[in-house]
Amino acid sequence: MSRATYVFECDWDNDGTFTAAGEDLTSRLIKVEWSRGRDYASQLTGKSVATRLTAILDDESGDYNSFNASSPLFGSLLPGRPVRLRSTDPTAVTLWEGKLESIVPELELRELQRARLEAVGPLGFLNTRKVRVPLQTTLLSGTVINAILDEAGWGSADRTIDDGQVTVQTFEAEDVAALEALREVEETDIGFLAESKDNKVVFEDRNHRLAGAHLTVQATFTDSLTGTLGYRAIRQEDPLPNIFNIFETTLQTHSVGALATIWTHPEANAAGKAPKIEGAGGTAVFYAAYPGPANQITDIGVDAWTTPTGTVDYIAHSDLDGTGTVLTENLSLAVSKFARAMKMTFTNTGSQDAFLTKLVARGTPITKDDPVIIESVDTDSTTLYGERKWPVPAKWLPDGSAAQDYVSYLKGIYASPIPILEMTVVGNVDDTHMEQVLTRDLSERIAVVATSGRTNLGINQAFFIENEHHIIERNRWHTVTWGLSSFQGYSKYWVLGTSELGKDTALSF
């Protein structure tokens, strides 16, 4: 029998450490559980969701009641506080890290008083942030991921981002949730956007699992009574809903037009309505937006805004009607450029009030080309299983060649049945099992043997860990359930520099 030693902490004073009084919650911990990874153990249909940790705490003292003024934590029970769960024995490892979402009492007058602590991972934070990412052109998908995270205010030290496999020709995001923008790039690359155990945002590109340590099975779990590592329960998902034999994507390319005036301030160019900028440091902010109501539906944004210059793009006078002294030189201008807007901040450095009697914005507009639907069909599979179409949501594919490779690649994996498993392992069996429960991670390759009369699944192959759900009871009874996707469909694909091409293998695109 093995029992790990755990430490559960919350940084109540938000100073970046867990050393202040009351920040070690281990002695109060009754139960804790958390989930991480995809919402379904399929690399095609499953997407990572924000990790969520729930802890039940002994609250007989009332310390975790936010309205209890006598609590030593009064005023510190605030959302966003760092939360961490780690083990120190039989191995020292961070098991989960994120931010406090809520802590509320759960009271029954004749029972032990408890509090429920809820915490979330970084994807939960990113789902609340709106981003405006200026147009990105001819960049690898990993670079675009970094640009989105920068705009969302997610620190560079708190991310692990692959370079990416797709060169995105154009990308823009205008006032959309950061997580939505990240998903669009993830889908275009067929990558994996996830969270690490230590609260980092992770992006694995399409070929990440076909190289390095992912080529090696990290552990083998078997239904044999004599095996070193076993499992308590195993369940196979129905493979039929995960068969797809028609993959279809819509290729949307874009064209960049010639430099032109694409926005005009309606009042700055109308007699008697010119906007005023007060003298002696007065400021005024204007946004040039494109496309506007008069543009075509195919007009989608701006490749490059031209920084406005005095007398060409804007003119200021001392009088509202455009007469009097020309004050254009008294205006200083700062701009911020986005995919569909340019922010212009004017500051009047002169002593007189200035009226903008002209204000336009120039740029090179982007127009959608005619869309092209690209499809790949496995006729043998459609004969066996009927037509099963998957509309590929790859928004930023660069050209027709990449789109065709994309749908053909997916067809080669999902046109035949592949197993998806859910497997539960008890860490307390012995130290060997506990080490596995504590240290195994998402995307790692493990082997599963389920061939004996105890299971009769006929499965003996490698799988990737796609999600995990841990439960630790008060007696330190620790179980984990992993969602597993088969390596079988990907086994024929290899990356240059990691394996030789053979007659049954194909180069990953």
Q: Are residues 23 and 106 in the same domain?
A: yes
Do the beta carbons of residue 428 and residue 438 sit within 8 Å? Answer: no
Q: Are residues 355 and 391 in the same domain?
A: no
| d(C-alpha 396, C-alpha 251), whole Å | 8
CA distances for 497 relative to 105, 210, 494, 500, 507, angstroms: 56, 11, 9, 8, 11
Do the beta carbons of residue 202 and residue 159 sit within 8 Å? Answer: yes
DSSP β-ladder status, 331-337 and 341-348:
antiparallel
The CATH number linked to 495 is 2.40.30.150
Which of 385, 414, 443 lies at the terminal end of a domain, its last residue? 414
Q: Are residues 400 and 362 in the same domain?
A: no
Residue 98: in which H helix or E strand, if any?
strand 93-106
Q: Are residues 131 and 115 in the same domain?
A: no
Q: Are residues 360 and 332 in the same domain?
A: yes
Number of independent structural domains in the chain: 5
- Token pair listed for 205: 């590109």
Q: Are residues 271 and 360 in the same domain?
A: yes
Three-state SS across 245-267?
CEEEEEECCEEECCCEEEEECCC
In degrees and rounded to multiples of 5, residue 439 shows phi and psi of -110, -20
Q: Who contacts 144 (Cβ-Cβ below 8 Å, separation ≥6)?
A: 136, 164, 168, 171, 185, 396
Q: Are residues 22 and 127 in the same domain?
A: no
- Token pair listed for 25: 């919650």
280 lies in which domain range? Answer: 255-368
Q: Are residues 104 and 180 in the same domain?
A: no
Number of H helices, E strands in the chain: 6, 31
Residue 84's closest CA among 6, 194, 153? 6
Paired residues of 173 in beta bridges: 133
Q: Are residues 67 and 100 in the same domain?
A: yes
Q: Print pLDDT tens along the chain (509 aa).
A: 899 999 999 999 999 999 999 999 999 999 999 999 999 999 999 999 899 999 999 999 999 999 999 999 999 999 999 999 999 999 999 999 999 999 999 877 667 899 999 999 999 989 999 998 877 888 999 999 999 999 999 999 999 999 999 999 888 888 899 999 999 999 999 999 999 999 999 999 999 998 888 889 999 999 999 999 999 999 999 999 999 999 999 998 888 999 999 999 999 877 788 999 999 999 999 999 999 888 888 888 898 999 999 999 999 999 988 889 999 999 999 999 988 899 999 999 999 999 999 999 999 999 989 999 999 999 999 999 999 999 998 989 999 999 999 999 999 999 999 999 999 999 999 999 999 999 999 999 999 999 999 999 999 999 999 999 999 998 999 999 999 999 876 655 555 555 544 444 555 66
Q: Are residues 202 and 212 in the same domain?
A: no
Which of 206, 230, 264 lies at the terminal end of a domain, its last residue? 206
Q: Are residues 279 and 361 in the same domain?
A: yes
Q: Please state the pTM of the whole predicted model.
A: 0.86
Q: Are residues 380 and 322 in the same domain?
A: no
The CATH number linked to 164 is 3.55.50.10
**Is the alpha carbon torsion for 134, 135, 141, 143 positive or negative?**
negative
Which of 67, 90, 120 lies at the terminal end of a domain, its last residue? 120
